[in-house]
Chain A
């Protein structure tokens, strides 16, 4: 158990910057996910924490100890790999025992610990099997047990579920979370799968091109994306380019009125946004309400548009609406979706909710 801190950590390979001044302060017992597309530097960051990659610049601390100079085998971290990385020539029990036996613990203690861990991953009696004789999910559970055997200070996960099929991923991600909660160990989890990140994290660090774009809770990331990249990478979004007309502030809200072409939208505005700024407004397809016929027409901020496309996806209906030249993706779920199946070419009135706004870097 340890608090993990990264201070301006950078990794360069020749001219390429793999990780660019990443800072993080991860509390003891916290579950943090590094989320990003491939090549964003998340795995390199994790490997620097494990000691498998040496930072070019910056400091990594466990509690108050600088670990930069401590080699991997003395850092006492647990690392779960994308491929389970079980030693193929050793039995399940010997795999789990590996860390303890390397540390020359007494035989009786090792045996007891192995049995304990086998029970925990619900694979009692599998100790004598070879890894190749287990299913993918079982292998990954053994890998988890092996990593916990030495009681590591920090748990590191490098896309541990990406090689497994979907159902297995869904159950195993909760097993991982349960393990972490039970052991109360600090965990850093790398993934490119946002549903995984959203399901298990206390905090998510969204990374892109070696930098942390945003660090925050699921709600922060989803409803208040800090950058254009985050808004586009996480979930689906409608992006509207426009200019801030007015900012209205009261005790706990800061709202901006934004003019996007012929549309005017209301958005949550971060403090850095001022009238006259060129911005991007983001509204998620599922945060657009389709108003029923007969609802009052005079409400400010309502948008009207013609339905161009209707796709029935089962639990949801996806609409493509043309709002005065601006295409809007709208997702409707619940029973209301069934009333929209023949909405093609009809005009609908829409209410945009939870609109977020970021500065338009391109402008």
Chain B
């Protein structure tokens, strides 16, 4: 009896093999959404380049750099200040919440996060009223800073809580047995290891604060007009190419800062997260 020999299967790289078709569809799907998402930015940029007499010009951008610089600078300043203040508030708060048994922990956490669920307009009105009657700081830099901190510190707090919860106590213990006191342990071991949480918090705070205009609308004064608010204000004068140029610049700056952030901290702290 001769053994039955199975015919050797032949594989062809058919152009229309089901596998290829499905791969192609997947790519097309992703690109479709990418284009749709990028579309507003592209149109704004094109609009900003339009010259009054037809054709393309960079004239609008000259205007932008003339008068927009101050707003942009203010935005950067207030964003950085917010981030710093948020860090000072969120890190000790995260330690208290994660490392110490506090009764009603869940309740406290949800209360702390209240600001995230409050509509911007409501927040704006409440702050405007509070500022006018309690602190007498409407239309000031401090007022802006206060509003942003109140509105965004949960964005700093939550990632740090998560990072701290995931940080094994063993590093702290190792540092202590090696002779480091509580403070040294924090600065040399725990703080660097909380990097992922802290950088996520910084990124979130930046994106929200830098682009925030609704709350700002209620509390900003003539000398505290942020870049985002300026863009909003200009839309009331119609969609001029100069307004589009402002918007595009704003978008570009935001994009560049996030990109630089990822380049600097991304490979170190955000690897393995869904962000990178």
Contact = CB atoms under 8 A, between A and B. Distances in A.
What is the interface of chain B mostly: helix, strand, loop, or mixed?
helix
A274 to B, nearest CB: 49
A72 B189 contact: no
B176 interface: yes
A194 interface: no
A99 B178 CA distance: 5
B193 interface: yes
Given A88-B193, A89-B192, A89-B193, A79 B179 contact: no
B174 A85 contact: yes
Interface stretch (B55-63, B120-128, B165-173, B236-244): B165-173
Contacts of A150: 178-179
B175 interface: yes
Nearest to B175: A98
A102 B171 contact: no
Given A88-B193, A89-B193, A99 B170 contact: no
Interface string B186-203: 001100110100000000
Interface string A61-73: 0000000000111
Interface in B144-171: 168, 170-171
Interface size class of chain B, counting residues whose CB lies under 8 Å from the partner chain: 10 to 19
Interface string B105-140: 000000000000000000000000000000000000
B233 interface: no
A50 interface: yes
Interface size class of chain A, counting residues whose CB lies under 8 Å from the partner chain: 20 to 34
A85 B170 CA distance: 6
Interface string A149-186: 11000001000000000000000000000000000000
A87 B171 contact: yes
Interface in A78-99: 78-79, 81, 83, 85, 87-89, 98-99
B181 A73 contact: yes
A50 B181 CA distance: 14
Contacts of A103: 179
Contacts of A52: 173, 176-177
A87 B173 CA distance: 11
Nearest to B193: A89
A294 B171 CA distance: 66
Most buried by B among A75, A78, A99, A103: A99
Contacts of A149: 178
A51 B178 CA distance: 12
B180 interface: yes
B184 interface: yes
Given A88-B193, A102-B184, A72 B176 contact: yes
Nearest to A50: B177
A81 B174 contact: yes
A85 B180 contact: no
A85 B177 CA distance: 12
Interface in A82-138: 83, 85, 87-89, 98-99, 102-103
A77 interface: yes
B193 A83 contact: no
A87 B179 contact: no
A190 to B, nearest CB: 14
A76 interface: yes
B171 A99 contact: no
A98 B188 CA distance: 9
A102 B178 contact: yes
Contacts of A89: 192-193, 195
B193 A79 contact: no
A2 B240 CA distance: 82
A103 B180 CA distance: 8
A72 B173 CA distance: 9
A78 B193 contact: no
Most buried by A among B170, B174, B184: B174
B179 A99 contact: yes
A83 B168 contact: yes
Contacts of B168: 83, 85
Interface string B26-58: 000000000000000000000000000000000
B177 A78 contact: yes
A179 to B, nearest CB: 17
Interface of A: 50-52, 71-79, 81, 83, 85, 87-89, 98-99, 102-103, 146-147, 149-150, 156
23 contacts: A50-B177, A52-B173, A72-B176, A72-B177, A73-B177, A73-B178, A73-B179, A73-B180, A81-B173, A83-B168, A85-B173, A87-B175, A87-B193, A88-B193, A89-B192, A98-B175, A98-B188, A99-B178, A102-B179, A102-B180, A102-B184, A147-B178, A149-B178
Query: Which are the 7 A-B pairs with shortest beta-carbon distances?
Result: A99-B178, A79-B177, A85-B174, A72-B176, A85-B170, A89-B192, A102-B180
Given A52-B177, A71-B181, A73-B176, 5 more contacts: A50-B177, A73-B178, A79-B173, A88-B193, A103-B179
